[in-house]
Amino acid sequence: MKVELIDLTKQWGTVVGADSINLDIEDGEFVAFLGPSGCGKTTTLLMTAGIYKPTRGEIRFDGRIVNHVPPKDRNIGMVFQSYALYPHMSVFQNISYPLKLKRTPMEAMRKQTQRVANLMGIDQLMDRKPAQLSGGQQQRVALGRALVKEPQLLLFDEPLSNLDARLRLSMRSEIKRLQFELEITSIYVTHDQVEAMTMADRIAVMKDGKLQAYAPPDDLYNKPRTLFVAGFVGNPPMNFLNVEIVRENGMYQAHGKGINLVVPAERGEKAVGKGQILMGIRPEDVTIAGDGVSGEIYVVEPLGRDDLIDVKIADVEIHMLVDPTLGVKMGDNVRLKFNTNKVQFFDPETEQSLLWD
């Protein structure tokens, strides 16, 4: 089912939860709403579900306006952060509840519930009450309940936040695989950019109620259109340095405190002559080399696969990821090489990217 959000706004008095959200979701697509707490992602999700009534704007399912359609007639399934299972009902009753409300005959109800339970791997828990299940099991029951009526749209509200880290990893891939096989259009709300990056076909990044960017994960990572997106997506986050781009000797150079770098022409020409701008470089794009920008190692954080190093250039700190076998220590003076092919430039006032629009 194709979903379109047109100019969608939710306002309570003077508080604006969601401000003119415009995006469309293709049939079978997995879209993530990503952003910090209070950015409006859950508000938008609940409007799509029909729980909140939009103040302005339209929601269309397959071209049909559904603003006034109650949740039960929207053919959707939703998984909540708190699972929202019915505590007084057994697992079987929880999963089959949507079917019971549709007055499905007992036999068909039992078969369908069994099928979904098998899919979720919880068919041996049918008689238990939610209080007798672990967090992961409860999550599967919630997912089963959302899927049992074979909805056309699946909504997730930070479903993995209450699970431990290990379980989160396995559930992440399970959900992604499930969505791939069932081909149900899905919207996944999260504040965890790793979840969004790993699971979604496209990510809608939101901040303060507004849509900042809406693109596939790689696009957001390599071509961020705003400062916020650049700093929010990617872990460890992007480094930002104050520089000025000038043209010297036919080459574009970035001049900053303790920094003198040559940048590629196609990037440099977009940022030249704009005064002080922000240069963004990701930690993995900075390496320790024979010569280059000089810096002092401030903190070394071993991550096993890499070392996360805090390096001071003049009085500015940047993060970089290095090979742990290099054996760098705190206090070492090193020389840094920047992969300038990956550098990003931003206007410090508008916070827009100078490279992409």
Partner 1 sequence: MTTTTLQRQQETTFETERAYGARRVLGGIIPYILLTISIIPIVVGYLWVIIATFSIRTRGLLPVDATGNIGGFTLQNWSFLGDAEIWRATLNTFLVAIGMVIGVGFVSTLTGYALSRMNFPGRKAFLGMTLILHAFRPELLLIAIFHVLLFIAGVPLIGRGFGFNTVGGVAVVMISLELPLGIWLMKGFFDNIPWDIERAALIDGASRFRVWWEIIIPQIRPGIAALAIFSFITGWNAYLIPFTFTLGSKVATLPVFLNRFSGDTSLHGWNQVAAIGLFQLIPVLIFFIFTQEALLNIYSGGTKGGT
Contact set with partner 1 (CB under 8 A): 46, 49-51, 70-72, 74, 76-78, 80-88, 97-98, 101-102, 129-133, 138, 145, 149
Closer residue to partner 1 (CB): 39 or 147: 147
* 70 vs 290, beta carbon nearer partner 1: 70
**Smallest gap, in angstroms, from Cβ of residue 155 to partner 1?**
8
Cβ-based nearer residue to partner 1, 88 or 274: 88
The residue (of 159 and 224) whose beta carbon lies closer to partner 1 is 159
Q: In what order do the strands lie in the sheet with 293-302?
A: 286-289, 333-338, 293-302, 307-313, 316-322
Nearest approach, Cβ of 78 to partner 1 (angstroms)? 5
Nearer to partner 1, 49 or 230 (CB): 49
Among all chains, which residue has been given the structure tokens 């104050």?
242
Angle at 266 between CA 264 and CA 270, to 5 degrees: 110
* Three-state DSSP class for residue 6: strand
In the bound state with partner 1, the residue whose beta carbon lies nearer, of 153 and 203, is 153
Closest approach of partner 1 to the CB of residue 108, in Å: 16
Q: Residue 16: beta bridge partners?
A: 11
Nearest one of 11, 2, 15 to 57, comparing CA atoms: 11
Name the minimum Å distance from CB 140 to partner 1: 13
**Secondary structure class of 37 (helix, strand, coil):** coil
Q: Identify the CA nearest to 125 among candidates 165, 98, 85.
A: 85
Contacts for 2 with CB less than 8 Å, ≥ 6 apart: 24, 25, 26, 27, 60, 61, 62, 63, 185
Neighbours of 331 (CB within 10 A): 9
Name which of 134 and 260 has its Cβ closer to partner 1.
Answer: 134
- The 3 state secondary structure assigned to 99-164 is HHHCCCCHHHHHHHHHHHHHHHCCHHHCCCCHHHCCHHHHHHHHHHHHHCCCCCEEEEECCCCCCC
Give the total residue count for the chain.
357
Least distance from partner 1 to the Cβ atom of residue 345, Å: 43
- Report the nearest approach of partner 1 to the CB of residue 72 (Å): 4
State the minimum distance, in angstroms, from the CB of residue 98 to partner 1: 4
Residue 256 CB neighbours (<10 A): 19
